[in-house]
Structure 1
Amino acid sequence: MSLQSRSPRLLIVWHSRTGAARQMAQAAADGAHAAADAMDEALDVHLLAADEVQADSLLEADAYLFCAPENLATLSGEMKAFFDRNYYAVLDAIAGRAYAVMIAAGTDGEGARRQVERIASGWRLRAAAPPFVYRNGAQTPEAILAPKTVAPDVLAQCGEIGGTLAAGLLL
């Protein structure tokens, strides 16, 4: 199916160890759907775990949201493996498409954010929203590894990012 004969497609690629990034990605998907509904437009939102994404999913999408935890000051291994697996397969084929990034972190998150931004720069993607880093404050091994519940106000911000990407595709 050609890009012209289908609804715009937003691909949300996520990885989560403790549930925070998964909740953030779902909130962004919900926000994208809500924006499309408010505009009375059709939008195809694909929410895929990083280990499920292949190059064809990237090529078929019109915009991207990358959502992952920061681990040891960098992206989680599964999210990095997604980029490693697909980087050269889509290089030069997705230039100019919109993207956004959301990072779940304990107290920092900047290393993972910068890493995604460097990769997106190499793909020549254009940022459609400011990067979002959610810091949950976890410091001890127990708190870091514990399942997370993301606060409603943070999820609302994630929904706004999804809505921004949707609006950009539908306008």
Structure 2
Amino acid sequence: MTKRLLIVAHAPSPNTVAMRDAVLEGAQHPDIASITPDVRSPFDTAADDVMAADGIILLTTENLGYMSGAMKDFFDRTYYPVLEEKQGLPCAIVIRAGNDGTGTKRGLDTILTGLRWKQVSDPLICKGEWDDAFLPSCSEIGMTLAAGLEAGVF
């Protein structure tokens, strides 16, 4: 049975596009056969997309010490429609932070606790100046969640 991994990524710059693509690349690892990744902008993601997902990865920039407005908009529109049905949804967080990412992480943790989604890995916070070394970690997040879904671990 094929499972669906929803990747909701706010990628407003070439660097965040590279991060999003690395997450997708990990989720499409050749050893993972029964996962269908679905990559969407937060603005193009609706509650029905979350309802159809078996797992979700959230990638956001840090904006003014918080998640991007696009990611906040996603949660504003989908929170209550998915609240009861998607409890326990396996999820992972990727934050591109110019500062330290703690405010963004705290905001996401609060929302995910309310939704009762299960974070299956520590949040990945790529902070400071851009570093190509962020990309393998992004790929690992995608691979970890996809492999865990495929194996039935999550």
For the superposition of Structure 1 and Structure 2, which TM-score range results when normalised by the shorter chain?
Answer: over 0.9
Tell whether 2:43 aligns with 1:63.
no
Alignment pair present for 1:116 and 2:108? yes
Q: Indicate the residue corresponding to 2:4 in structure 1.
A: 9
1:54 lines up with 2:46 in the alignment? yes
Aligned to 1:82: 74
Hey, which bits of structure 1, 4+ residues long, moved more than 4 A? none
State whether residues 20 and 150 of structure 1, in contact with CA within 8 Å, keep that contact through their aligned partners in structure 2: no
Query: Which protein has the bigger helix share?
Result: 1
Please tell me whether Structure 1 or Structure 2 has the larger radius of gyration of its CA atoms: 1
TM-score by length of 1: 0.84
Q: Which runs of 5+ in 2 are unaligned?
A: none
Runs of at least 5 residues in structure 1 that lack an aligned partner in the other structure: 1-5, 138-148
Q: State the alpha-carbon separation in 2 of the partners of residues 110 and 102 from structure 1.
A: 12
Distance 1:150 1:57 in 2: 32
Distance 1:23 1:117 in 2: 24
Alignment counterpart, residue 31 of structure 2, candidates 35, 38, 42: 38
TM-score (structure 2 length as normaliser): 0.92
RMSD: 1.3
Distance in 2 between residues matched to 1:28 and 1:16, nearest whole Å: 12
